[in-house]
Structure 1
Amino acid sequence: MSKAHHRKKHPEAVRQQLLEVAARLSLEKGPGSVTLDAVSQAAGVSKGGLLHHFPNKLSLLDGLFSDLTEKLDRVLAEKMQSDPEPKGRFTRAYVAVFFVPEGMDDSEQWKVLTIALISEPHLRERWRQWVERHLAENIGTDSSPDSVLVRYAVDGLWLADLLGAPTLDAETRTAMLGRLLALSRS
């Protein structure tokens, strides 16, 4: 009898493990390496167990997207709550999360998701809807051209970091951060 028959069932832990393994495989070997067989084998979960949580590769990527954006929503809400200045509050929270690549929990999974967003139209649409929802919620405080410019600059820096573009030294990054935060208040 296999170990699977003797272990206690913890569906949420298994689901999370599958997401983490899929992200790790994608980072180590590229997105093409994320097959249902490879994920189930690397996670030590039967293929049937994986299919119980994720019936196909797209649902696995959807699960990763949902997991990460739920975490992102919580972090953004915390950062916004601690910011006493309403104007540009969402934009400053966005900067705090995405400006420093190592500053984000699950940054490795975000790299995977960013690559998947580029290649999967369905995920691009989900991201667009996520952004639109947040912009609609913060229309009175974060819709100025300067706020938009700040978020696009942060997106560009995040993508440059992801692609391994020449890195910025700490002094330049700090100066850019100061300028972006000042713009978020104008």
Structure 2
Amino acid sequence: MSVRHQRKKQPELVRQQLLEVAARLTKEQGLPSVTLDAVSRAAGVSKGGLLHHFPSKMALLEGLFDDLIGHFDAAIDEELRQDAEPHGRFSRAYLKAVTNLKYNPREQGEWAGVALALLTEPQLRVRYRDWLDRRCEEYVGTDSSVEALAVRLAADGLWFAELIDSQEMDDDTRQRLVLRLGELTRGR
């Protein structure tokens, strides 16, 4: 009687590996390169294994989006915990979480791929808008000013400019910009 070698199943590790590969492929080669075959091959996982976790390309992109939003939510929540001033707190936390992505190359790279997908995939745009609407609704009493909205939009613009490397900006200028945006949330 033969005993087959069986490796221990680690579905969460496999799922995370698939998401990381999809993010890397999107960043390096563009969204069209993210096919189920390419991701399974690059991850060293059978196509059936990939389909177990993500039954379609859209499910894979949604999984990547959800994973990154989870990290982003955690970063925002950490910033919220550190800020005792209620007025504009969510917008400051959003600004800091966005601008801190630059210092986390792995997440910045993964977000680059998702940002491209957000531009082309209506379902992901709706998911992002719904997520942001829910978060903003939590802080409607403290972050409803036009200044708070301007700061969040400026944070998005800075993030996008850094993703596509469209603006040359030295660290001192960037730091002064972020500080000035943070001041706008305080309503002074």
Which TM-score bucket, shorter chain as reference?
over 0.9
Q: Does the aligned pair in 2 maintain the 1:101–1:161 contact within 8 Å?
A: no
> By how many angstroms is 1:100 displaced?
4.3
Instruction: Give structure 1 regions of 4+ aligned residues with deviation exceeding 6 angstroms.
Output: none
1:135 aligns to 2:136 (yes or no): yes
> By how many angstroms is 1:169 displaced?
1.1
Corresponding residue of 1:76: 76
Structure 2 unaligned spans of 5+: none
Instruction: Give the secondary-structure state (helix, strand or coil) at the position aligned to 1:106.
Output: helix
What TM-score comes out, normalization by structure 1 length? 0.94
> By how many angstroms is 1:13 displaced?
0.5
Corresponding residue of 2:116: 115
Alignment of 1:25-44 (within 5 A): 25-44=25-44
Rounded Cα–Cα distance in structure 2 between residues aligned with 1:33 and 1:40 = 12
Deviations 1:29-72 (A, max 9, x none): 11111100000000000000000000110000000111111121
Instruction: Give the secondary-structure state (helix, strand or coil) at the position aligned to 2:115.
Output: helix
> By how many angstroms is 1:6 displaced?
2.9
> By how many angstroms is 1:172 displaced?
1.2
What TM-score comes out, normalization by structure 2 length? 0.93
> By how many angstroms is 1:175 displaced?
1.5
Higher mean C-alpha displacement, 168-177 vs 87-96: 168-177
Corresponding residue of 1:9: 9
Question: 1:100–1:75: structure 2 CA closer, same or farther, 3 Å change rule?
Answer: closer
Q: Does the aligned pair in 2 maintain the 1:80–1:93 contact within 8 Å?
A: yes
RMSD after superposition: 1.2
Rounded Cα–Cα distance in structure 1 between residues aligned with 2:52 and 2:156 = 35
Rounded Cα–Cα distance in structure 2 between residues aligned with 1:81 and 1:100 = 16
Corresponding residue of 1:178: 179
Q: Does the aligned pair in 2 maintain the 1:87–1:185 contact within 8 Å?
A: yes
Q: Does the aligned pair in 1 maintain the 2:21–2:42 contact within 8 Å?
A: yes
- Give, as a single letter, the amino acid of the residue that structure 2 aligns with 1:85: E
Q: Does the aligned pair in 2 maintain the 1:87–1:184 contact within 8 Å?
A: yes
Structure 1 unaligned spans of 5+: none
Among the aligned pairs, what percent are the same residue?
Answer: 52
> By how many angstroms is 1:103 displaced?
3.1
Q: Does the aligned pair in 1 maintain the 2:101–2:107 contact within 8 Å?
A: no
Corresponding residue of 1:163: 164
